[in-house]
Amino acid sequence: MSIARLHDLHKRRMGRNLGVGLVLAAFIVIIFGLTIVKIGRGDFSTNPGAPGRAIEETSNEN
């Protein structure tokens, strides 16, 4: 009788789980990155004096 910890099935599932894990990690990085960029540009700012707003308003005037 042989008891092996890893069956081929487990290897397949390992690959699949790893893939899903990497996709979720990439998703977090993307959301974090987008948030940083958008906050940096002042997209979410309600303050008319925020840097992003000032640039937007200047470009609208042109």
Q: Does 32 bind other proteins (CB under 8 A)?
A: no
- Report how far residue 9's alpha carbon sits from residue 20's, in angstroms, rounded to the nearest whole number: 17
Closer to other proteins at the Cβ: 3 or 47? 3
Given a contact cutoff of 8 angstroms between Cβ atoms, the answer to whether 53 and 45 are in contact is: yes
- Report how far residue 51's alpha carbon sits from residue 38's, in angstroms, rounded to the nearest whole number: 12
Q: Does 51 bind other proteins (CB under 8 A)?
A: no
Q: Least distance (Å) from other proteins to the CB of residue 2?
A: 6
Interface residues toward other proteins, by CB under 8 A: 1-5, 7-9, 12-13, 15-16, 18-20, 30, 33-34, 37, 41
